[in-house]
Amino acid sequence: MSEHVFGGDWTREKLARVRKYLQAYTMIFHANERAKFFTTYFVDAFAGTGDRMDSNIPGVIESPLLDVECDPDLIGLQKGSSRIALEVEPAFDRYLFIEHSKKRVAELEKLKDLYPSRANDIQIERGDANTVLKNWCQKTDWRRFRAVVFLDPYGMQVDWSTIEAIAATKAIDLWMLFPIGQAVNRLLINRQPPPEGWANSLTRTFGEDAWRPRFYKKSVQQSLFGEEEFETKIANFADIEAYFLERLGSVFESVAKNPLLLCNSRGTPIYLLCFAVGNKTGAPTAVRMAQDILRP
């Protein structure tokens, strides 16, 4: 069962925990003789600007399905995961920052001047995180590389096929912000299953349509027109969390059992910070570290 973090602190909490993991990760890869063989990557697939994000979050209101509402906790509190990663010591060997906004990519480019000693190791890709990540997973020689990937979307932008591609490398540790309340629970309307477009988005997120019998119960009721079949929502946040962890567990070697539930100032769950690891040899240590870090 997840731990809860309430209020505006959740962005700081999220980044502080990921930072702790990155620090522990690079320490191991610098200290351990066998791990030293690998070239390490940090991948920030929804990189933002590299710095604190302000209240001007385009697309947020226009696309309620995939993005967030203008929740006050989400405004003005974003800090830069890319910069956090660049400041981790010992350093990663390489950094890949992916961002689809042209304006934000221009900001990310400035990080090369801000961190001149890392400039040659920073690669910035403008594009859709799913496309860039899948391509990168496929073309990287995983006999020589190891990576931490951070997926920090606003909403349901991560396709299940991307998670599968990451897991299939068997070389990546994944930190992911799953939009449990921000998007998924909202699409799961109460008295009937979601309309087709929303249902397709849920299937794209979970990688299968088995969410429907998990989250909805069929019943037959008498109506004016005789017997009618109804489907009503039976899932709560714990059920959605359990199902997503199960899905991660179906493709990764191991998954942290205590994801962190991040709530807004009204106590409503918005995101679930999850960790999963693909490498069999590294999995016990990685999950132990992540589970420690995820504790309140």
Ligand X SMILES: C[S@@+](CC[C@H](N)C(=O)[O-])C[C@H]1O[C@@H](n2cnc3c(N)ncnc32)[C@H](O)[C@@H]1O
Candidates 75, 78, 127; CA nearest to 100 is 127
Residue 226 CB-density burial (10 A; 0-12 exposed, 13-18 middle, 19+ buried):
exposed
Kindly state the DSSP code that residue 92 receives in the 8-state scheme: P
Other CB atoms within a 10 A radius of the CB of residue 266 amount to 11
Q: Is residue 80 a contact point for ligand X (CB under 6 A)?
A: yes
Residue 196 CB-density burial (10 A; 0-12 exposed, 13-18 middle, 19+ buried):
exposed
Of the pair 134, 247, the CB lying nearest ligand X is at 134
Binding range to ligand X, per CB under 6 A, among 97-105, 109-117, 217-225, 285-293? 97-105
Q: Is residue 92 a contact point for ligand X (CB under 6 A)?
A: no
Candidates 208, 205, 227, 207; CA nearest to 218 is 227
Out of 41, 136, 154, 244, which residue is the one contacting ligand X (CB under 6 A)?
154
Return the residue matching tokens 């070697």.
Answer: 253
Residues that bind ligand X (rule: CB under 6 A) add up to a total of: 21
Of the pair 78, 201, the CB lying nearest ligand X is at 78
Instruction: Provide the residue type at 53 as one letter.
Output: M
Instruction: Provide the residue type at 69 as one letter.
Output: E
Of the pair 128, 231, the CB lying nearest ligand X is at 128
Q: Kindly identify the residues of this chain, within the stretch 108-147, that bind ligand X according to CB under 6 A.
A: 128-129
State the binding string over 12-51 for ligand X (x if CB under 6 A, else -): ---x----------------------------x-xxx---
Contact positions vs ligand X (CB under 6 A): 15, 44, 46-48, 53, 78-81, 98-101, 104, 128-129, 152-154, 157
